[in-house]
Amino acid sequence: MDDLLRDFLAESAENLARLDHDVVELERDPSNTDLLNSIFRTVHTIKGTCGFLGLDRLEGVSHTAESVLDLLRNGTLAANSDLISDILRSVDVIKGILASLEQTGTEPRGDDSLVIAALEAWLTSTACNGESGVPTLPSVPIMPTPATLAAVEAGQLTNVEQPATPAAPSVETALSAMNSSLRINVAVLDALMNLAGELVLTRNQLLQLSAKDEASVYAAPVQQLNRITAELQSAVMKTRMQPVSSAWSKLPRMVRDIARDTGKRIELDMKGADTELDRQLVQALQDPLMHMVRNSADHGIERPDVRRAAGKSDVGTIRLNAFHEGGQVIVEITDDGAGIDPAAIRRKAIQRGLVRPQVADGMNDKQVLRFLFEPGFSTADAVTHLSGRGVGMDVVRDNVTRVGGTVDLQSSPGFGCTVRIKLPLTLAIVPALLVGVENELFAFPQNCLVELVRVPVENRLAFETLQGVPLYRLREALIPVIDLRALLGLTRDTVTDVTTLVICQAGGSRFGVVVDDVIDTQEIVVKPVGRRVRHIPCYAGCTILGDGRVIMIMDPAGIATMSGMHSTELSPPDVQPAPLDDVRRDSILLFEGGTDGLQAVMLSDVARLEEIAADRIEIAGGRHVVQYRGSLLPLVPASPSMTITSGTSRSVIVFNEGSTSFGIAVNAIHDIVEDCVNLEIAPSRPGVLGTAVIAGRATELIDVSYYMAQSRAPGQLTA
């Protein structure tokens, strides 16, 4: 395949990625001139370049589609549902030809006469007599593609179609535009990420060595290397980031087709399309999103007559929302359809033998809904070409958990359903918690962790056993407990007075893992597991520590599978679970700020946690600052009595506000927990929103906006 054809395919793929979405959007808003011009431009550039490359079949389809689009542009034709369907069919043919061309390097044979005839019927219809009275829409100049421009520059092509107006950019101007960007093979970026990962490992080794001798002449260069490595890692990560919109570009077309096939009226609302995450995670998200949106459109949204009878609008709505929260990407799929009937799920689960009737009767609705993630589970009365075979929800769970994410499903019968998917930002380099079991170390990815619990020997009564399953009572809820030592077959040589539980979340399941000790938190480079242990489900990969040791990265979902744990969170008989919509549990960061007692901040407000060497903290303009990621980061003490530069290092909570950042200096990071925040005592001083009971302790919730204002105020050092 020559370079010109390769460039043409790459450019066409980029243009076609949004074409389905744009054409469907045009059906909703036919008067959108910019959208129509964009669609016309895409088809026009494909037609123009494929003619030069001798792709006759592709040129025939694209030329006819271009002619129809041109009549839409000048107002001779008006967009309607049937016309949009014919245009979409031509887009499917163009995509199929390009896909085959990319695989084989030659244009495939095929008969497109039916598609072309359907388009030509619009060209010859009575609607094209020029007397429709529809005002003519303004045309726009057509830019030659970079592939065509490259051919012009090389002298291979001279008959480039000229822009329609003198104001159009010239070929020379377009070639300046070309020099501002560079197309890079994904394999090169992957190799760069691997090298950055190796650099992180080396950095960790040097940091561990320099920590043993702070007076060493190498301490300062190692700290400088640490800063440069962190900035390089961040820059490399950005090259792999893609907007989540690339994973849902096919959804508008799919929802439109389902609505036409089922006689429903469905509106798809998408927000947060520019939320970015790792390219590998975007790819892993595509299938789960397709399944979830298809379920909402086919099973969730009712027909217009049914919705009217229920007092709803004729038009059902499916909402997609993506956003960052607590260092993770959250994708929510919500519909206002019929919801899911827990009683039907319970009956089906009993019928399939997944649970005994007496056990099912004692399960709450949230537990019952998780049967939907069992392979082959379906409550559909009939199998259709869209769904009903029991394939989908288990695929969603498996694809998401495979990349370290979680899936949670909530439903209100009669009002709709919400699926919440949590994903890490990246898979290559992840923050992890290092734990010790006997003489071995293991790493738990932090995105799967909820909190850490230490149970003294005098509180061992909190452990119970139900039907042979060990449980721990955590804030009036019983969660299963798994002993990692017993699971891995390690010999018990260590006896401690404290039981340490790592509370994990995997696929909607919450459980505790017993370990001997919590060692440290560290950013680790994920390496694949070896062939001899690949069959063991509890291992997600391995990593190399700073001292050269290779340790295993644990997979919480695999741990649950190995232990035979199928139930998730068990409520004690005397406690009634609250309705799903009535209780909101937030992720909360607990820290020691120099005052009496603990302080807290919502984890969703936190951008990053840093440990800053004291000698890096400077004074500028009467305030404390630190050089951080290419700019100066203002530091504000958590309490007025704090001396920020005391000690060898200072824990800093970094916050972002638009394009600016600031840090709150604290004494120590205590924990991350999930709890319901209910402020019971009014604030007694500035910077505090109030006091609440969080994780069983009275805790002050700080006011981030107060500290933000302090970071911007004229510098007045008090400590």
pLDDT tens per residue, range 187-211: 888 788 878 878 887 888 888 788 7
- Report the range of poorest mean pLDDT among 116-120, 232-236, 543-547: 543-547
Other C-beta atoms closer than 10 Å to the C-beta of 195 total 12
Which pLDDT band holds residue 152 (cuts at 50, 70, 90)?
A: very low
Q: What is the pLDDT of residue 208?
A: 78
pLDDT tens per residue, range 484-517: 988 888 877 666 677 889 998 775 678 899 998 8
- Report the range of poorest mean pLDDT among 6-10, 239-243, 614-618, 706-710: 6-10
Helices and strands (H and E) in the chain: how many? 20, 29
Q: What is the pLDDT of residue 507?
A: 58
| Inter-CA distances, 136 with 75, 232, 290, Å | 5, 52, 38
**Residue whose tokens read 């060497």:** 613
CA 161 – CA 41 distance, rounded (Å): 13
Beta strands in 366-415 (DSSP E): 406-412
Q: What is the pLDDT of residue 278?
A: 81
In eight-state DSSP terms, residue 527 is: B
pLDDT tens per residue, range 299-357: 889 999 999 999 999 999 999 998 876 556 889 999 999 888 888 888 888 888 888 88
Beta-bridged to residue 528, according to DSSP, are: none
Element (H, E) at 538: none
pLDDT tens per residue, range 348-362: 888 888 888 877 787
Are the CB atoms for 370 and 580 separated by under 8 Å? Answer: no
Beta-bridged to residue 252, according to DSSP, are: none
Are the CB atoms for 492 and 438 separated by under 8 Å? Answer: yes
Give me the mean pLDDT over the 594-602 stretch.
86
**Residue whose tokens read 């509180």:** 459
In eight-state DSSP terms, residue 87 is: H
Cα–Cα nearest to 419, from 508, 348, 504, 354: 508
Are the CB atoms for 512 and 482 separated by under 8 Å? Answer: yes
Other C-beta atoms closer than 10 Å to the C-beta of 124 total 8
| Inter-CA distances, 623 with 640, 663, 704, 711, Å | 13, 12, 18, 8
In eight-state DSSP terms, residue 311 is: T
Cα–Cα nearest to 257, from 386, 126, 109: 386
Which pLDDT band holds residue 391 (cuts at 50, 70, 90)?
A: very low
In degrees, rounded to 5, the angle at the alpha carbon of residue 683 between the alpha carbons of residues 682 and 687 is 155
Give me the mean pLDDT over the 78-85 stretch.
87
And the tokens for 671?
């924990």
As to burial, measured by CB atoms within 10 angstroms (0-12 exposed, 13-18 middle, 19+ buried), residue 491 is exposed
Element (H, E) at 563: helix 556-563
Alpha-helix runs per DSSP H in 105-218: 113-123, 146-153, 171-179, 186-211
Return the higher-pLDDT residue of 182 and 189: 189
Give me the mean pLDDT over the 253-269 stretch.
90
**Residue whose tokens read 């969603």:** 396
CA 549 – CA 443 distance, rounded (Å): 12
**What is the Cβ-side half-sphere exposure of residue 164, based on CA atoms within 13 angstroms?**
8
DSSP readout, 188-220? HHHHHHHHHHHHHHHHHHHHHHHHT-TTSTTHH
Q: What is the pLDDT of residue 304?
A: 93
Element (H, E) at 445: strand 440-445
In eight-state DSSP terms, residue 170 is: P
CA 541 – CA 342 distance, rounded (Å): 37
Judged against a pLDDT cut of 50, whether residue 130 lies above it is answered with: no
Element (H, E) at 393: helix 393-402
Q: What is the pLDDT of residue 715?
A: 59
Q: 2: Cβ–Cβ under 8 A, 6 or more apart, which residues? A: none
Q: What is the pLDDT of residue 267?
A: 92
Which pLDDT band holds residue 675 (cuts at 50, 70, 90)?
A: confident
Return the higher-pLDDT residue of 173 and 109: 109
SS3 content of the chain, % helix, strand, coil (to 5): 40, 25, 35
Find which of 105-119, 254-268, 437-451, 621-635 is predicted with most confidence, using mean pLDDT: 254-268
Beta-bridged to residue 669, according to DSSP, are: 591
CA 635 – CA 627 distance, rounded (Å): 11
Amino acid letter for position 471 = L
Are the CB atoms for 671 and 451 separated by under 8 Å? Answer: yes
CA 536 – CA 544 distance, rounded (Å): 19
Amino acid letter for position 318 = I
**What is the Cβ-side half-sphere exposure of residue 542, based on CA atoms within 13 angstroms?**
14
And the tokens for 603?
């984890």
In eight-state DSSP terms, residue 570 is: B
Give me the mean pLDDT over the 162-171 stretch.
41
Q: 455: Cβ–Cβ under 8 A, 6 or more apart, which residues? A: 462, 463, 472, 498, 499, 500, 501
CA 637 – CA 640 distance, rounded (Å): 6
Give me the mean pLDDT over the 647-665 stretch.
85
CA 160 – CA 39 distance, rounded (Å): 20
Judged against a pLDDT cut of 70, whether residue 390 lies above it is answered with: no
- Average pLDDT taken over every residue of the chain: 78
CA 451 – CA 671 distance, rounded (Å): 7
- Distant-in-sequence contacts of 79-86, Cβ < 8 A, 24+ apart: 79/26, 79/27, 79/30, 81/27, 81/260, 83/122, 84/23, 84/24, 84/26, 84/27, 85/260, 86/115, 86/118, 86/119, 86/122
CA 406 – CA 506 distance, rounded (Å): 6
Q: What is the pLDDT of residue 600?
A: 92
pLDDT tens per residue, range 26-61: 888 888 888 888 888 888 888 877 767 788 888 888
Asked whether the whole model's pTM tops 0.85, one would answer no
Strand, coil or helix: 551:
strand
- Report the range of poorest mean pLDDT among 4-8, 102-106, 299-303, 674-678: 4-8
Strand, coil or helix: 296:
helix
CA 537 – CA 518 distance, rounded (Å): 23
Are the CB atoms for 328 and 424 separated by under 8 Å? Answer: yes
Which pLDDT band holds residue 659 (cuts at 50, 70, 90)?
A: low
**Residue whose tokens read 């245009």:** 87
Q: What is the pLDDT of residue 360?
A: 79
pLDDT tens per residue, range 462-492: 777 776 778 888 776 778 899 898 888 887 7
Q: What is the pLDDT of residue 334?
A: 92
